[in-house]
Amino acid sequence: MSGQTQRLNVVPTVTVLGMVKARLVGATRGHALLKKKSDALTVQFRQILKKIVTTKESMGDIMKTSSFALTEAKYVAGDNIKHVVLENVREASLKVRSRQENVAGVKLPKFEYTSDGDASKNDLTGLARGGQQVQQCRIANIKAIEVLVELASLQTSFLTLDDAIKTTNRRVNALENVVKPRLENTISYIKGELDELEREDFFRLKKIQGFKKREIEKQMQNAKLFAEDQVAEKLSLQKGISMNAAHNLLSATTERDEDIIF
Amino acid sequence: MANRAPIATRNSALIAMIADEDTVVGFLLAGVGNVDIRRKTNYLIVDSKTTIKQIEDAFKEFTAREDVAIVLISQYVANMIRFLVDSYNKPIPAILEIPSKDHPYDPAHDSVLSRVKYLFSSESVASERR
């Protein structure tokens, strides 16, 4: 990870530039959406946090009431009531049903307690004495369970949300700090390469143009010379002397002749 | 995201308990207790004779059971197996630390509440002191 300088390993062409630009647009949109999701989750999270703290406080009171009710029941019905209760356990009449709640795409479990309604099992407990206290203790405990179930559902939501927020924030940060800079670097790289290519092309064109210009000038000059020659030749023809012949005469002396030995 | 347990929506689940006798008796009276065919209970009564090993086993069993949605655990029992409670981080079943009669409730020991404070120290402390 070399920080800012990193970019995708791509061929710098116009097509790829278009592709990368489309990806950058997608990444930007995704980043905005995830940011919104994270905000929504955080709002929910804070609400749950407050609720947890207040419910925890009320839990203390409720538990105190319920244990006091049990003490009352014990006092009236005798201490052996607990054995009766322990023996009478068959099947839970108070159960928890869970359902899902959807907050910004995160499924939060919500518990709610359901009672079968048959309070008959412990109906005869403490029939001899203290029956009413036993029933009051039962009611107090059911209330405690109610609060505890609510607290449990809050706590579960808290953990789930915490997890979800962490994941979302990680994604937001990854998009913001890794994916987007990388795409931007790639875009600037491709643009730079394309610019360079363009400059090279321009330079080449300029070179070729200059070369052509020089060629044309040369040809023009040649043509001019040739025309002058022609004129001179015509003149000499008119005078009866071949300019070339004269030239040849002169040059013949300089040329080596095979026949001449010395 | 990977460790998120699938949440069963239809069927009802049990509330398991690991607590002292009085608390358990109280909740049994309310109708939480369940004994299945193999005489397995969904609660553990902790008294002076209960070993930490037994508590650990019960905790592990309750958190692994699929029909348990909430595990209530007395705070002084939770303190005995604090390392297990703290390392447990699945949403379901939910671990709930409850105060018991003989031991005052200390919010600082609660694993979730301490995490609440750790995350939003300023806010939660402020709201707690109201």
| Residue A121 belongs to a domain | yes
Interface of A with B in 33-52 (CB under 8 A): 46, 49-50, 52
Say what the pLDDT of residue A128 is.
64
| Residue A232 belongs to a domain | no
Output the pTM of the full model.
0.69
Residues of A in contact with B35 (CB under 8 A): 89-91
| Residue A237 belongs to a domain | no
Put simply, the answer to whether A145 touches B8 (Cβ < 8 Å) is no
Q: How many CB pairs under 8 A join A and B?
A: 162
Say what the pLDDT of residue A242 is.
58
CATH number of the domain encompassing residue B52: 3.40.50.10580
Interface of A with B in 60-89 (CB under 8 A): 60, 63-64, 66-67, 69-71, 81-82, 85-86, 88-89
Per-residue pLDDT band for A199 (boundaries 50, 70, 90) equals very high
- Between A257 and A83, the more confident residue is A83
* pLDDT, tens digit, 9 for 90 and up, residues A62-116: 888 888 888 887 787 777 777 777 777 776 677 777 777 777 777 787 877 777 6
Interface with B, mutate which of A94, A99, A108, A166 (most B CBs under 10 A): A94
Put simply, the answer to whether A109 touches B35 (Cβ < 8 Å) is no
Say what the pLDDT of residue A71 is.
81
Say what the pLDDT of residue A163 is.
82
Per-residue pLDDT band for B1 (boundaries 50, 70, 90) equals very low
The predicted model gives A32-54 an average pLDDT of: 87
pLDDT at A26 over 50: yes
Put simply, the answer to whether B99 touches A59 (Cβ < 8 Å) is yes
Q: Indicate the average pLDDT of chain B.
A: 74
| Residue A126 belongs to a domain | yes
Comparing A182-186, A217-221, A244-248, B15-19, the range with the smallest average pLDDT is A244-248
Min Cα distance A7 → chain B (Å) is 29
| Residue A226 belongs to a domain | no
| Residue B76 belongs to a domain | yes
| Residue A250 belongs to a domain | no
Q: What DSSP line would sit under A40-99, residue for residue? A: HHHHHHHHHHHHHHHHHHHHHHHHHHHHHHHHHHHHHH-TTHHHHHHHT--S-SEEEEEE
Min Cα distance B86 → chain A (Å) is 13
The predicted model gives A104-131 an average pLDDT of: 68
| Residue B42 belongs to a domain | yes
CATH number of the domain encompassing residue A137: 1.10.287.3240
Query: Which residue does chain B place closest to A159, by CA atoms?
Result: B91
Give the total number of structural domains in chain B. Answer: 1
| Residue B123 belongs to a domain | yes
The predicted model gives B91-99 an average pLDDT of: 79
By Cβ distance, the residue of A82, A145, A158 closest to B32 is A145
Put simply, the answer to whether B15 touches A95 (Cβ < 8 Å) is yes
* pLDDT, tens digit, 9 for 90 and up, residues B120-129: 655 544 444 4
* pLDDT, tens digit, 9 for 90 and up, residues A140-152: 888 888 888 888 8
- ipTM for the assembly: 0.75
Put simply, the answer to whether A52 touches B7 (Cβ < 8 Å) is no
| Residue A38 belongs to a domain | yes
Provide the domain limits for residue B114.
14-128
Put simply, the answer to whether B70 touches A111 (Cβ < 8 Å) is yes
| Residue A108 belongs to a domain | yes
Say what the pLDDT of residue B22 is.
80
Provide the domain limits for residue A52.
7-193
The predicted model gives B37-57 an average pLDDT of: 81
- Between A239 and B113, the more confident residue is A239
By Cβ distance, the residue of B27, B69, B89 closest to A111 is B69
* CB contact at 8 A, A79 and A156: no
| Residue B29 belongs to a domain | yes
Query: Which residue does chain A place closest to B121, by CA atoms?
Result: A49
